[in-house]
């Protein structure tokens, strides 16, 4: 922090000198975009005194970035046009790509702090290129013209606006309406096209400062522990005195550590949801994975050993939400329909498995099914026969016992009759699910989550919650009730959601592990990177449908908390939970693009919940980063509406955590509280090592100090299946049979198992004065009133030990028996586990913080 202050002092000094000694009154500003990186590098600036010699401000440095469409192909900023309105506000408009009939608009007062972007649709048929703006003094409005290719012809069109929010209908324009105000200038020897304006020098000065500061932050972010050998060469063992300030205690949140479960990386189907049959309802569709694989369809994971191909039908299904089912034509008894599971079906010797299927005999066929679990060599591990099926859909069930264990079984269904038979919702569950729940969760994974002692579980996402376009918004009502009535959907992470793990199962899991449920529903807008429906872009549920959408959210509260005699409470009771779930928190939105569209819908939902259910704590959203437009405007909206909590997200490299330790110290305590809903330390290559774990720990120590304003946190994402990972890093990796706990998992676990509700400030007096060294040693002391214990957490992110004297004399007398837990290792190590040992504490307590370690000392009062 001191270093930051020093930097700002130097920067201020340098600029003061520059500004006042010989700065011009005004200069020319050139704004442009290059074609590099397919036009995705954003808006650039250059300045000139004489309009001939141009100085690029950090050439290719982006002062504005397009938010339009999906990552990868979109987010392009083409042919920008910068313009200052009559009130002095700057506006940039630009073309988005070569196809859409929209242009982009954003405005700013300082040329680098931009308000939310909008993308007015001005062409129904035709694209928008080279847009430009002129003020029309007589009409007192702004005329926007552009070129458009319609039916192979290039034409000019125009619209007008007074506020850049509402536009008059588009009409064809003439050459006279165009100004062709763009110029070509040379920057670093390269010709660039853009607009030139004369501006007071302070604007250029501000842009240069902004650029310099960004560069400085970039340098800070690049700091790595892996560079310590050079950075700290010659550093030897340090000593420290760590003292507690018993006077200035403060109450802190006792909800600090939770988990964020998102169905990403096969976290649900094929993961936590214990179903062993893949594509059990024959509902996979090529659209799930954007038509990238023609074999990803209703037959995925299934095969038939008979001579005739099995077919998929949709006439008279078990339930309209489960449209597809399989029809087999059995020519000879012995022909089998087989399912390969999710990379094989794992079986444990002696364990029981619950099988079920919906069956309907066609054209008079009827009889029983032989059900077997076999390996690819035909070895049979379990077998059983169902009751008979007839002419109507009937659910048949049986229990299979595995004689031996294997990782790679297949499920076989062998009708014991010839003719045609329809099958749907073929299911196989281990009986040993977590807490032995039917339709339950994989026990080892659920236990690993429970072991973190999370105080809450946020679900079902993430991007999954707001979906890939309007039709993909996660609707909780589609995920409750009998499995055959649930409505499967495409998973935004490019696979399939069976919805077998639905809202009932999430709430039940929370109850089973003593965590508060924190469902997140979309704020009436889909993912800012939506890719379905043309080029995507946020859009929003039409306002005429918003009342129903708001009602769905109110119904969720009734479903969770209503009496069993209410309409929705009854549904919960029918599912096996007559008592209310006691929902307290509800997330509205997920790092959405903060636009007018968002604000209108969020406000509607927020006000409705506030009015009807003031007992619910609503959590708002402030974009995907720790700075920028969404963060700034999201906070403004949340503060204006007095939203109780806002959900912040940021994924940062080690250097950010090392150099932003005062991030929450700066937060205004009178504004909404923070739920840090997604964060992680990201390395190039996205591995989790001792380095990332220690940066997480350091951050959480700083958060704990600020847990009067940060109420909740959750690392993201939680689960990832080997071979099916869309996002790295994740806290827990798993295969069908094993789980792999990362160093970062253990940090979460240590914080989760050692929470406090009172913070006691500590002071570290280190034998080194170098701020680079000092910022690497941190402590936090909390008291947990439930157990009465005090917990001291210590992080050492240095390559040397720190011998600490910890005279905790400001605290009441404590027992000498304490527990010490230490997580340490080489900074590049990926496999470490904490060691737990008894230790002794007294008034003259000494502890040596190992190099690169995180230690937790838990002690009791006398
Ligand atoms: O945690 C993975 C993703 O990161 C979440 O779905 C999204 O909210 C964020 O961008």
Q: Which of 375, 501, 393, 395 is nearest to 439 (CA)?
A: 501
C-alpha pair distances (Å), 387 with each of 338, 357, 372, 544: 19, 11, 15, 50
Cis bond upstream, residue 181 (ω within 30): no
- What the block records as the tokens of 708 is 């009067």
Rounded to whole angstroms, how far apart are CA atoms 222 and 744?
20
* pLDDT for res 21: 67
For residue 677 and ligand 1, the question of a CB distance below 6 A is answered with no
Q: Which of 79, 41, 44 is nearest to 58 (CA)?
A: 44
For residue 651 and ligand 1, the question of a CB distance below 6 A is answered with no
Rounded to whole angstroms, how far apart are CA atoms 122 and 143?
13
The ligand 1 atom at the shortest distance from the C-alpha of residue 492 is 6
| Percent helix, percent strand, percent coil in the chain, to nearest 5 | 20, 35, 45
* pLDDT for res 656: 98
For residue 467 and ligand 1, the question of a CB distance below 6 A is answered with no
Distance 713 CA to ligand 1 centre (A): 14
Residue 581 exposed, middle or buried by CB count within 10 Å (0-12, 13-18, 19+): buried
106 touches 115 (CB < 8 A):
yes
Q: Name which residue sits closest to atom 2 of ligand 1, judged by CA.
A: 717
The residues near 548 (Cβ < 8 Å, ≥ 6 apart) are none
* pLDDT for res 536: 55
Mutational test site, ligand 1, from 473, 682, 727, max ligand atoms within 8 Å of CB: 727
DSSP string over 584-638: -EEEE-SS---SHHHHHHHHHHHHHHHHH-TTSEEEEE--SSSSSHHHHHHHHHH
Q: What is the DSSP letter of 834?
A: -
* pLDDT for res 530: 80
For residue 718 and ligand 1, the question of a CB distance below 6 A is answered with no
For residue 126 and ligand 1, the question of a CB distance below 6 A is answered with no
For residue 589 and ligand 1, the question of a CB distance below 6 A is answered with no
* pLDDT for res 2: 39
Mutational test site, ligand 1, from 261, 462, 626, 652, max ligand atoms within 8 Å of CB: 462
Distance 776 CA to ligand 1 centre (A): 29
- pLDDT digit string (tens) for 148-159? 997 789 999 999
Burial 95-120 (b: 16+ CB within 10 A, else e): bbbeebbbbbbbbbeebbebbbbbbb
Phi, psi of 630 (to 5 degrees): -65, -40
For residue 653 and ligand 1, the question of a CB distance below 6 A is answered with no
Q: What is the DSSP letter of 121?
A: B
C-alpha pair distances (Å), 382 with each of 328, 341, 373, 398, 410: 23, 15, 5, 12, 11
The ligand 1 atom at the shortest distance from the C-alpha of residue 716 is 1
Rounded to whole angstroms, how far apart are CA atoms 829 and 510?
33
Helix, coil or strand: residue 138: coil
Helix, coil or strand: residue 705: helix
Does the CA dihedral 507-494-284-274 come out positive or negative? negative
The ligand 1 atom at the shortest distance from the C-alpha of residue 461 is 6
Q: Which residue stretches of the chain have pLDDT < 70?
A: 1-21, 531-537
The ligand 1 atom at the shortest distance from the C-alpha of residue 590 is 8
DSSP string over 717-770: --EEETT--SSS--SEEE-SS-EEE-HHHHHHHHHHHS--SEEE-EEEEES---
For residue 717 and ligand 1, the question of a CB distance below 6 A is answered with yes
For residue 262 and ligand 1, the question of a CB distance below 6 A is answered with yes
Rounded to whole angstroms, how far apart are CA atoms 708 and 182?
52
Distance 494 CA to ligand 1 centre (A): 14
Rounded to whole angstroms, how far apart are CA atoms 134 and 430?
69
* pLDDT for res 20: 54
- The residues annotated as belonging to the active site are 591
- Residue 853: CB atoms within 10 A of its CB come to 22
Distance 591 CA to ligand 1 centre (A): 8
Q: Which of 394, 33, 296 is nearest to 190 (CA)?
A: 33
C-alpha pair distances (Å), 602 with each of 247, 597, 608, 675: 42, 9, 10, 17
For residue 587 and ligand 1, the question of a CB distance below 6 A is answered with no
The ligand 1 atom at the shortest distance from the C-alpha of residue 262 is 6
3-class SS letters over 265-312 = CCCCECCCECCCCCCCCCCCCHHHHCCCCCCCCCCCCEEECCCCCCEE
- pLDDT digit string (tens) for 160-197? 999 999 999 999 999 999 998 999 999 999 999 999 99
94 touches 131 (CB < 8 A):
yes
Mutational test site, ligand 1, from 649, 686, 744, max ligand atoms within 8 Å of CB: 649
The residues near 680 (Cβ < 8 Å, ≥ 6 apart) are 651, 692, 696, 715, 716, 729, 744
H or E segment at 558? helix 543-561
Strand order in the sheet with 26-32: 55-56, 44-48, 26-32, 190-200, 183-187
The ligand 1 atom at the shortest distance from the C-alpha of residue 260 is 1
Mutational test site, ligand 1, from 261, 459, 463, max ligand atoms within 8 Å of CB: 463
- pLDDT digit string (tens) for 261-320? 999 999 999 999 999 999 999 999 999 998 999 999 999 999 999 999 999 999 999 999
Distance 487 CA to ligand 1 centre (A): 23
Strand 250-251 to strand 259-260: parallel, antiparallel, or no bridges (unpaired)?
Answer: unpaired
Helix, coil or strand: residue 397: strand
- What the block records as the tokens of 429 is 């569950």
Rounded to whole angstroms, how far apart are CA atoms 376 and 384?
19
Cα atoms in the Cβ-side hemisphere of radius 13 Å centred on 580: 13
Rounded to whole angstroms, how far apart are CA atoms 90 and 231?
44
Distance 463 CA to ligand 1 centre (A): 6
Mutational test site, ligand 1, from 67, 628, 717, 744, max ligand atoms within 8 Å of CB: 717
Q: Name which residue sits closest to atom 8 of ligand 1, judged by CA.
A: 462
Q: Name which residue sits closest to atom 4 of ligand 1, judged by CA.
A: 462
The ligand 1 atom at the shortest distance from the C-alpha of residue 463 is 6
For residue 461 and ligand 1, the question of a CB distance below 6 A is answered with yes
569 touches 562 (CB < 8 A):
yes
Rounded to whole angstroms, how far apart are CA atoms 444 and 435?
11
DSSP string over 438-504: TT-BBHHHHHHHHTT--SEEEES-SHHHH-SSGGGS--GGGGSSSGGG---EEETTTEEE---S-HH
Rounded to whole angstroms, how far apart are CA atoms 144 and 155?
14
For residue 536 and ligand 1, the question of a CB distance below 6 A is answered with no
H or E segment at 191? strand 190-200
Q: What's the CA angle centered on 41, arms 72 and 463, to 5 degrees? A: 40
Phi, psi of 345 (to 5 degrees): -105, 120
For residue 696 and ligand 1, the question of a CB distance below 6 A is answered with no
Rounded to whole angstroms, how far apart are CA atoms 101 and 119?
9
* pLDDT for res 4: 44
Phi, psi of 695 (to 5 degrees): -70, -40
Q: Name which residue sits closest to atom 6 of ligand 1, judged by CA.
A: 462
Rounded to whole angstroms, how far apart are CA atoms 306 and 323?
24
* pLDDT for res 69: 86
The ligand 1 atom at the shortest distance from the C-alpha of residue 727 is 2
Q: Which of 789, 706, 766, 698 is nearest to 242 (CA)?
A: 766
The ligand 1 atom at the shortest distance from the C-alpha of residue 591 is 8
Distance 495 CA to ligand 1 centre (A): 16
- What the block records as the tokens of 302 is 């299934």
For residue 270 and ligand 1, the question of a CB distance below 6 A is answered with no
Distance 205 CA to ligand 1 centre (A): 37
Rounded to whole angstroms, how far apart are CA atoms 758 and 250?
6
* pLDDT for res 13: 44
* pLDDT for res 501: 98
* pLDDT for res 861: 86
The residues near 790 (Cβ < 8 Å, ≥ 6 apart) are 760, 781, 782, 783, 784, 808, 811, 814, 858, 859, 860, 861
Q: Which of 207, 252, 183 is nearest to 46 (CA)?
A: 207
């Amino acid at each position: 922090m001191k270093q930051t202050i020093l930097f700002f002092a130097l920067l201020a000094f340098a600029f003061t000198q520059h500004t006042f000694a010989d700065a011009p009154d005004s200069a020319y500003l050139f704004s442009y975009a290059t074609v590099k990186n397919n036009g995705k590098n954003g808006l650039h600036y250059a300045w000139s005194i004489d309009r001939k010699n141009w100085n690029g401000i950090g050439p290719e440095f982006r002062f504005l970035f397009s938010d339009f469409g999906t990552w990868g192909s979109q987010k392009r900023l083409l042919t920008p046009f910068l313009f200052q309105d009559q009130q002095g506000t700057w506006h940039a408009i630009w073309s988005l790509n070569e196809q859409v009939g929209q242009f982009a608009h954003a405005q700013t007062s300082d040329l680098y702090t931009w308000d939310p972007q909008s993308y007015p649709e001005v062409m129904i048929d035709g694209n928008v290129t080279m847009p430009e703006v002129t003020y029309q003094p007589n009409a007192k409005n702004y005329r926007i013209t552009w070129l458009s290719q319609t039916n192979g012809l290039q034409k000019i069109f125009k619209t007008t606006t007074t506020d850049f929010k509402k536009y008059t209908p588009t009409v064809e324009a003439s050459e006279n309406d165009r100004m062709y105000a763009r110029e070509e200038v040379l920057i670093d020897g390269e010709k660039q096209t853009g607009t030139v304006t004369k501006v007071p020098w302070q604007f250029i000065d501000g842009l240069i400062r902004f650029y310099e500061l960004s560069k400085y932050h970039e340098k800070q972010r690049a700091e790595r522990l892996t560079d310590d050998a050079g950075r700290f060469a010659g550093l030897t063992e340090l000593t420290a005195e760590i003292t507690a300030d018993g006077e200035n205690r403060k109450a802190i949140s006792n909800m600090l550590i939770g988990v964020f479960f998102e169905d990403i990386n096969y976290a649900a189907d094929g993961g936590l949801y214990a179903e062993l049959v893949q594509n059990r309802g024959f509902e996979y569709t090529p659209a799930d994975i954007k038509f990238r694989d023609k074999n990803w369809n209703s037959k995925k994971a299934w095969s038939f050993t008979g001579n005739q191909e099995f077919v998929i039908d949709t006439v008279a299904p078990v339930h309209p939400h489960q449209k597809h089912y399989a029809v087999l034509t059995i020519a000879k008894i012995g022909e089998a329909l087989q399912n390969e599971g999710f990379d094989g079906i794992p079986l444990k010797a002696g364990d029981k498995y619950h099988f079920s299927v919906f069956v309907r005999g066609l054209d008079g066929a009827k009889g029983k099914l032989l059900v077997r679990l076999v390996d690819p060599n035909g070895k049979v591990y379990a077998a059983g026969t169902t009751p008979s099926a007839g002419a109507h859909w009937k659910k048949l069930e049986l229990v299979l016992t595995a004689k031996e264990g294997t990782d790679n079984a297949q499920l076989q269904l062998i009708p014991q009759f010839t003719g045609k038979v329809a099958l749907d919702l073929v299911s196989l569950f281990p009986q040993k699910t977590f807490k032995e729940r039917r339709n339950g969760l994989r026990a080892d994974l659920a236990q690993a989550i429970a072991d973190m002692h999370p105080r809450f579980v946020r679900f079902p996402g993430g991007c999954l919650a707001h979906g890939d376009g309007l039709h993909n918004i996660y609707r909780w009502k589609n995920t409750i009730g009998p499995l055959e009535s649930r409505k499967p959907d495409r998973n935004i992470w490019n696979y399939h959601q069976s919805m077998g793990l639905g809202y009932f199962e999430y709430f039940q899991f929370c109850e089973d592990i003593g965590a508060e449920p924190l469902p997140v529903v979309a704020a009436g807008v889909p993912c800012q990177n939506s890719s379905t429906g043309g080029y995507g872009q946020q859009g929003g549920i039409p306002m005429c449908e918003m009342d129903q959408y708001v009602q769905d959210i109110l119904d969720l509260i009734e479903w969770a908390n209503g009496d069993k005699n209410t309409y929705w409470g009854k549904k919960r009771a029918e599912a096996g939970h007559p008592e209310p779930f006691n929902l307290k928190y509800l997330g509205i939105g997920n790092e959405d693009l903060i636009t007018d569209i968002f604000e209108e819908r969020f406000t509607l939902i927020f006000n409705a919940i506030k009015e009807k259910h003031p007992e619910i704590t609503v959590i708002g959203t402030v974009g995907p980063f720790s700075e920028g437009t969404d963060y700034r405007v999201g906070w403004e909206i949340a503060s204006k509406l007095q939203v109780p909590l806002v959900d912040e997200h940021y994924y940062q490299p080690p250097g950010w955590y090392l150099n932003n330790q005062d991030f929450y110290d700066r937060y205004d305590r009178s504004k909404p509280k923070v739920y840090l809903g997604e964060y992680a330390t990201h390395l190039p290559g996205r591995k989790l090592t001792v380095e990332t774990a220690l940066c997480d720990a350091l951050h959480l120590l700083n958060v704990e100090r600020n847990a009067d304003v940060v109420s909740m946190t959750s690392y993201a994402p939680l689960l990832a299946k080997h071979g099916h990972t869309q996002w790295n890093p994740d806290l827990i990796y798993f295969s069908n049979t094993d789980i792999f706990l990362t160093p970062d998992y253990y940090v979460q676990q240590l914080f989760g198992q050692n929470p406090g509700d009172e913070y006691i400030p500590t002071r570290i007096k280190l034998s080194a004065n170098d701020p680079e060294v000092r910022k690497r040693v941190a402590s936090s002391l909390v008291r947990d009133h439930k157990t009465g214990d005090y917990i001291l957490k210590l992080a050492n992110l240095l390559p040397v030990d720190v011998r600490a004297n910890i005279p905790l004399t400001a605290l009441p007398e404590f027992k000498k028996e304490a527990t010490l837990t230490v997580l340490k290792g080489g900074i590049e190590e990926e496999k470490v586990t904490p060691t737990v040992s008894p230790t002794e504490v007294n008034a003259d307590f000494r502890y040596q913080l190992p190099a690169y370690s995180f230690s937790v000392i838990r002690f009791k009062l006398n």
